[in-house]
Amino acid sequence: MKLIKIFSISLVLLIASKTTAQEFKLGKVSVAELEQKIHPKDSAAPAAILYKKGKSRIEFDQSDGDFVTLTDVEVRIKVYKKEGYEWANQAVWYYKTSGFVEKVSFSDAYTYNLVNGKIEKSKLKSEGIFDETVNKFRGQKKITMPGVKEGSVIEYKYTIKSPSDRSIREWNFQETIPVNYSEFTTCIPEYYVFNSRQKGYVFPKMTVDKSPKSIIFTSKERSEGRVTTTTFSTDKIDYIETRTTYTAQDFPAMKEEAFVNNMDNYVSSIQHELSMTKFPNSQMRTYSTDWNSVVKTIYDYESFGAELNKTGYYEDDLKALLAGKNTLEEKIWVILNHVKASVRWNGYTGYDCDNGVKKAYKEKTGNIGDINLMLTSMLRYAGLTANPVLVSTRENGIALFPNRTAFDYVIAAVETPTGYLLLDASDKFSTPNILPFRTLNWSGRLIRKDGTSEEIELTPKKLSNDVVFLNYKVEADGKVSGKARRQCTDHMAMITRERIDGVKQEDYLEKLENKNGKIEISDYSRTNEKDILLPTIESYAFTGNDLCEIIGGKIYISPMLFFTNDKNPFKQEVREYPVDFGFPQMDKYNINIQIPDGFAVETLPASAVINMEDNGGTFKFVVAQNGNTVQFSIASQINDAIFSAEKYEMLKEYYKGMIAKETEKVVLKRI
């Protein structure tokens, strides 16, 4: 996996020498920049970041009497094409809750154009600056630049003032357009220690230097005698400030790809999290620095650990439910179902409680924390060794670095003699170890009561199966009739249940018929639809007039009929990022074809096997003929959930081979 590179590279970077930084200053737009017609390295780019410089400083603020975070950002953007006009509109969000208000202000914003060889600049005035209240918690400042045309260069600066002494925002070194130069500096007093975390596929260079700084306190003292006199006294405190600068040069544009878990995982960026404070004359305080302390911090939250210990609100209900339940499996099952039935997920993630377990239980609705911490607590109450597991959803990205925001979700794990059983009560189709797709994202972190923690693999290892039995006969006029039976297990079953959930059977069948070569379906039945521990089974009889072709008096049949995979999902020529299927899977088809009287097989596809390297997967295609019946056993087994970009070509070839085989025809001729 390429991600491992992150760690090795950042080690090297620590000792990398200081590079001569290029000088970029607002207002110094050159004729050459304005004249440029296309980006030299990416001719299709609609715009480019010529430079972007950010600096986050933690400084003492006289009026606040405390340390605050100030962030200044300068940007110069080149617009090459009309498609790049969107870069002339910018937005910066800020917090505005009671007691915590950040300030954002834009300044020095100009559009530069070349008019008859001369540089013309238009200033952004207040008419192009907007302040929008997004919701209760957030606002955003928006700007729209004047006079933007193809070829324009835009510059602007903004400042964020945060009353907090630890709000260094994430800095992205990559965008959807090329970035020629991006620089981010942090200025941090010696009293603070931050952890910096880089991710992505390309990395900026880092330099560090230290310099002395001082804070001057001015205090006023009034003495009241006959005449009131005010004396000013100043105190000076010296400290060392650490400046760390990250510079990125010529980073390519991010491009969307299919089958990507979350593009954000691959954007080059840096995050900062406070790990320690040590002020003069006070105790050292540590924050999350490694997974154990992150976990400890989270466990100590009122909305986390304390919620786990509440039991009173459900005890009576649970006692009744657990009566007569002796085995571990029985207990787990009854509790999981009880939570599912008692509390509906309100759509909000979060590893800690929003409403609190008690309120959630009473009002029958809650966030992920409410639901799964309640679940964990009940499992413990039943005498099981159960613990919460912190998870980062696919939307949140991969939890690469130890910090509290790395996670946004929680599930429960029960220790059993055969290993952990992972549970999520927020999804009605989830069963032990079959978690909703949103949680299948690398690894989570299990927290025990004693504060220790352990990494838990979330990517399923077990194959999810999709097995189809197809029995059909072909008539001399090409009409096909037969029976199909489709059985899905684990994640495939979950997907099936989600697909059929709440859909009226009539509508479902209409869709199924239209999607499958306009067959007509009869005798449709489902087994285990509600019995979610068991595989889903759908059976039906079908007839179709359009399922095989008669060409020149011969009948051509695709043995898999409407199940044939005839399109390669991997069409892209080059692949940047890993392919993520979510879980390993097997598609299997057992097919019996009865050929019509008066016909004989002219050609049959040959049996074949395709193997991926490193046991990534296997395609088996087996044919047998027995009198008037032709039998096929066709199976594609993908053993890995994730394939690195290096394996893309192999994966594409595998699908190519598979499709070529599946689309081969059985040819019947008259005898």
Partner 1 sequence: MKTTFFALFLFLITFNSFAQKANYTITSIPDSLKQNANAVVRLDQMDITIASQRSMNVKKQRVITVLNDKGLSDIEAFEHYDKTTLINSIEAIVYDAAGNEIKKIKRKDFRDQSAVSGSTLFSDSRVVYLNYTPISYPFTIAYTCETQTSNTAFIPTWYFLGGYNVSIEKCVLNVAFPSDLGFKKKEFQFAGFNIKKTEETTTKLSYVAQNILAQKAEDLSPSPGDLFPKIIMGLEKFHLEGVDGTATTWEAFGKWYGDKILTGTTTLPEETKAKMKALVGDEKDPIKKAKIIYDYVQKKSRYVNIAIGIGGWKPMQASDVDRLGYGDCKALSNYTKALLQAVDVPSYNTILYGDRYKSNIQSDFVSMQGNHMILAIPNGDNYTWLECTSQDDPFGYQGTFTDDRDVLVVKPEGGQIVRTKVYDDKGNTQKDKGIYAIDENGNFSGSISIVSEGSQYNEKFRIEAYQPTEKESHYKEYWDNINNLKLGKIAFANDKENIRFTEDVQLSAINYASISANKMIFAIDVFNQNNHSVKRIRNRKNPFQIQRGYLDSDEIEVNLPAGFTIEFLPENYELKGKFGEYKTEIIKKDNNKLIYKRSMFLNKGKYSNKEYDEYRLFMEQISKNDNAKIILTKN
**d(C-alpha 147, C-alpha 34), whole Å:** 14
**d(C-alpha 375, C-alpha 427), whole Å:** 13
Q: Is 649 in the site for partner 1 (CB under 8 A)?
A: no
| Closest separation in Å from C-beta 98 to partner 1 | 14
Total binding residues toward partner 1, as defined by CB under 8 A: 61
Contact 644, 612 (CB under 8 A): no
**d(C-alpha 372, C-alpha 357), whole Å:** 9
DSSP state of 88: G
Region of 535-543, 597-605, 611-619, 637-645 interacting with partner 1 (CB under 8 A): 597-605
Q: Is 354 in the site for partner 1 (CB under 8 A)?
A: no
* DSSP E strand stretches across 88-127: 89-97, 100-101, 103-115, 118-123
Rounded alpha-carbon distances, angstroms, from residue 137 to 94, 132, 241: 9, 12, 32
What strands lie across the sheet with 599-603, from one edge to the other?
548-551, 554-557, 666-670, 599-603
Contact 632, 558 (CB under 8 A): no
| Closest separation in Å from C-beta 479 to partner 1 | 15
Residue choice 6, 147, 243, 590 for contact with partner 1 (CB under 8 A): 147
Residue choice 6, 70, 120, 122 for contact with partner 1 (CB under 8 A): 122
- Tally Cβ neighbours within 10 Å of residue 172: 20
| Closest separation in Å from C-beta 453 to partner 1 | 31
Q: Under rule CB under 8 A, which residues in 11-70 are in contact with partner 1?
A: 44, 46
Q: Is 665 in the site for partner 1 (CB under 8 A)?
A: yes
Residue choice 365, 393, 439, 481 for contact with partner 1 (CB under 8 A): 365
Q: Is 561 left (phi over 0), alpha (psi -120 to 50) or beta?
A: left
Region of 6-14, 134-142, 187-195, 284-292 interacting with partner 1 (CB under 8 A): 134-142
Residue choice 130, 217, 451, 670 for contact with partner 1 (CB under 8 A): 130
Q: Is 549 in the site for partner 1 (CB under 8 A)?
A: yes
Region of 124-132, 226-234, 260-268, 331-339 interacting with partner 1 (CB under 8 A): 124-132
Q: Is 659 in the site for partner 1 (CB under 8 A)?
A: yes
**d(C-alpha 664, C-alpha 559), whole Å:** 8
SS3 per-residue string spanning 421-467: EEECCCCCCCECCECCHHHCCCEEEEECCCCCEEEEECCCCCCEEEE
Region of 15-23, 92-100, 369-377, 600-608 interacting with partner 1 (CB under 8 A): 600-608
| Closest separation in Å from C-beta 663 to partner 1 | 6
Q: Is 83 in the site for partner 1 (CB under 8 A)?
A: yes
Residue choice 482, 559, 605, 617 for contact with partner 1 (CB under 8 A): 605
Q: Under rule CB under 8 A, which residues in 197-256 are in contact with partner 1?
A: 255-256
**d(C-alpha 271, C-alpha 547), whole Å:** 56
| Closest separation in Å from C-beta 540 to partner 1 | 16
**d(C-alpha 655, C-alpha 568), whole Å:** 6
Q: Is 88 in the site for partner 1 (CB under 8 A)?
A: yes
Region of 279-287, 290-298, 502-510, 623-631 interacting with partner 1 (CB under 8 A): 502-510
Q: Is 349 in the site for partner 1 (CB under 8 A)?
A: no
Q: Is 477 in the site for partner 1 (CB under 8 A)?
A: no
Region of 70-78, 329-337, 433-441, 652-660 interacting with partner 1 (CB under 8 A): 652-660
Q: Is 499 in the site for partner 1 (CB under 8 A)?
A: no
CB half-sphere exposure, 387, CA atoms < 13 A: 22
Residue choice 5, 210, 319, 364 for contact with partner 1 (CB under 8 A): 364
Positive or negative, the CA dihedral 638, 642, 646, 648 is positive
Angle, CA of 168, 174 and 175, to the nearest 5°: 105
Q: Is 346 in the site for partner 1 (CB under 8 A)?
A: yes
Residue choice 551, 600, 622, 624 for contact with partner 1 (CB under 8 A): 551
Residue choice 523, 567, 626, 627 for contact with partner 1 (CB under 8 A): 567
| Closest separation in Å from C-beta 89 to partner 1 | 6
Axis crossing angle, helix 368-381 with helix 328-342, rounded to the nearest 10: 150
Helix (H, G, I), strand (E, B) or coil at 296: helix
- 635 class by beta-carbon count within 10 Å (0-12 exposed, 13-18 middle, 19+ buried): middle
Q: Under rule CB under 8 A, which residues in 507-546 are in contact with partner 1?
A: 507, 510, 513-514, 518, 546
| Closest separation in Å from C-beta 502 to partner 1 | 5
Q: Is 609 left (phi over 0), alpha (psi -120 to 50) or beta?
A: beta
Residue choice 108, 132, 455, 649 for contact with partner 1 (CB under 8 A): 132
Region of 140-148, 221-229, 241-249, 406-414 interacting with partner 1 (CB under 8 A): 140-148
Helix (H, G, I), strand (E, B) or coil at 35: helix
Residue choice 81, 121, 310, 325 for contact with partner 1 (CB under 8 A): 81
Q: Is 183 left (phi over 0), alpha (psi -120 to 50) or beta?
A: beta
Region of 143-151, 181-189, 216-224, 613-621 interacting with partner 1 (CB under 8 A): 143-151
Q: Which tokens hold the place of 648?
A: 């893309």
Q: Is 146 in the site for partner 1 (CB under 8 A)?
A: yes
Q: Is 502 in the site for partner 1 (CB under 8 A)?
A: yes
Q: Which tokens hold the place of 152?
A: 């324009």
- Tally Cβ neighbours within 10 Å of residue 320: 8
| Closest separation in Å from C-beta 548 to partner 1 | 12
Q: Is 118 in the site for partner 1 (CB under 8 A)?
A: no
SS3 per-residue string spanning 569-601: CCCCCCCCCCEECCCCEEEEEEEEEECCCCEEE
Q: Is 614 in the site for partner 1 (CB under 8 A)?
A: no
**d(C-alpha 521, C-alpha 544), whole Å:** 9
Region of 52-60, 218-226, 474-482, 562-570 interacting with partner 1 (CB under 8 A): 562-570
Contacts with partner 1 by CB under 8 A lie at: 44, 46, 81-83, 85, 88-89, 122, 127-128, 130, 132-136, 142, 144, 146-150, 255-256, 344-347, 363-365, 502, 504, 507, 510, 513-514, 518, 546, 549, 551-552, 556, 566-568, 571-573, 602-603, 605, 656, 659-660, 663-665, 667
